Structure 1
Amino acid sequence: MSRFLFVVPPLVGHLNPAVGVAGELARRGHDVAWAGYAEQIRQHAGADAVVFPCPIPEGGLRRTADLKGPAAFQFLWAEFLIPLADLMAPGVAAAIEAFEPDVVVADQQAVAGALVAERYGVPHVTSATTSAELVDPLATLPKVADWVRTRLGELRARIGDPAGTADPRFSPHGVLAFTTRELFGAAEPAHDRVHLVGPVISSRPSTSDFPWELLDPARPTVLVTLGTVNMDAGARFLREAVAALAASADRVQGIVLDPGHTLTDVPDGVLVRAHVPQLDLLGHVAAVVCHGGHNTVCESLWHGVPLVVAPIRDDQPIIAGQVVAAGAGVRVRFGRVTATQLAAAIDTVLDDTAGFRAAAEAVGRSFRAAAGVTAAADLLDHLAVRENIGISAD
């Protein structure tokens, strides 16, 4: 049996797929350990998970709400991902020395995993929980691309092998991309050895006391969620969403996720919750309104649920474009959409004649056929046996 070390950032959307793959490897008899934010990892991977703790930037992922495009991308790297890598590097090194993994599975945004593994000569595989960077989003922004390469080169000099040349976001041993052609599209990935294994949709613990008895089978249910890291930017959008759902309450039941408790004076007919058991709930909803986070998009499409996507920043505009291109939803402008426009978009995806549900169901079938957890674990199994295995693109 082999030993696998998972290195993850303190972002739930990046942790969930890794938890599924790690669980499958453990079921096969392999030893699994983690490096990252210990409290969060144990919450999702189990209290008995073997975790080598790594500190995280104070305050976590803090954003400036008005930054978009290249400015938001640079802010993310300069203010969070690069400092995160510096902070995580000692913990990752301690994990490699103590656990002696055969393979390191490094999240694409936890580049300390790739760089420290490189320094120790341990093969690593990239876990790409979003497909956005696989299409080279900086191809038309050469100055930003150069800026990123420079920052990663400086980081390598501090925590990695100064003689290394591989981009730590794209392992030469392979990239596990948790998507399929039906969502990613026909274009070839911009990097070698990318394998589209499909999303990892697996059960996870929930402490939500969701009032299931309030669901009305006579009306289609619409879920509105902006994920867990957009509370700073989402208050206006959530207010418009509540107004849109309240205006349609005679024919639609609305559920709005508000973890930041930003909503007040919510009208009757709209259910607002700080937390919901999202995977369980998706089996009961007819449409999802979201920010275009890869996890929420994939979980919705897995259940054949069409989407209204309002991307905010980072990878979300790319994922939103993929949803629209697949015919599985429509896109609205996050910062400008009104309640009237949002209600119209919801009506559009709920209209069976438009084909959105059929397209969503087709993407969902491709996800299940790709066998995400099994496919990813198979590839890691092979790499542990033969360090130089190539993972080819679909």
Structure 2
Amino acid sequence: MKGALEGIRIIDISRVLAGPFCSMILGDLGAEVIKIEHYKTGDETRGWGPPFVSGESAYYLCANRNKQSITLNLKSEEGKEIFRRLVSTGDVVVQNFKAGTLDKMGLGYEHLKELNPSLIFASITGFGATGPYKDLPGYDYIIQAMSGLMSITGERDGSPLKVGVAIADVLTGLYTCIGILSALQHRNRTGEGQEIDISLLDCQVSSLVNVASNYLCSGATPERMGNQHPNIVPYQVFSAKDGDLVVAVGNDEQFKRFTAALGRPELAEMDEFLHNQNRLEAKEKLVSICGELLSHKTKKEWKVLLDDAGIPNGPINSIKEMFEDPQIHAREMVVELEHPLIRDLKMTGSPIKLSKTPVQIRLHPPLYGEHTESILEQIGYHPDEIIHLKQNKVI
């Protein structure tokens, strides 16, 4: 069955996470992705570990399936010529060099669009192509700090905390993918390619959603609230008899059903808890009452009671518990791939469920330079030329 993006060729010269995550999604959707790696070291994440599985980094594996790998020395003239040939056959370039780096090498968008006017050129940088920080390197951790995200993450009286995954990179990969799909649609209508300028900082600021809006509307600086919600009560972590769970009571009707499930329906009739605004004003008292009541049953017992009452809730799972959840398996969020080195390689599945063009995991995360020779042959290089390129450290 054909993928939604079959026939689209992605030339991916990005490394680490944001760019590779974006190109992996495009590959999952059916695009052909050619991953260009440094001719000596490859993608940095190949060395990030442990854990390693049969010599392959788990970090690298997470964002690089459905791709082919070619090694290339982009500082050599012959390497640049190979890149230009690939671009002339491609639809999209994804790159995350520092702003202006490829321009200095003669490989920026203005140079490449002369070869391929319909080219879509997606540039991912820490701070974007404009502004006083445009020349600075951007790392997820730094972006989480500068975007304000860390200032609102953590306990009220504790230190600022980063999110447990590189969330700025992940969000940037998603935004870049949206930009590429939009540019492809524009090209379908007009035949025109274009450049896409994506910044990690911009993406993380955009993703502050209601927290940013609260500040812009009120002028009040949002603060860390731990596991509580700034606008809704009760909406937080509580401790059951055997562990923690989250309860998210979103409106007054849910609060009535919640108090009934707790065995204290009269709470919903009390003036101090009648509406969400009242509950916000009486937060400490209400949270204390709810916490005491919830501590008498197990997570599973509360899951049944609260589900039956239609109250959004869920246990705080470990990663192990999450992967053992039957819902995860029902949604095919764990997939097994064949790999030349790793037996029964498991990866997270795709969350994109398309009825007509379903995601297909066609290719394992490639070994370093696994497809160099076959790709060069596709674009017209003779075996003798490939030997020459190897001897001259071009590939």
Q: What is the TM-score normalised by the length of structure 1?
A: 0.23
Query: Over alpha carbons, which structure has the higher Rg?
Result: 2
Q: What is the TM-score normalised by the length of structure 2?
A: 0.23
Higher relative contact order (CA 8 A, sep 6+): 2
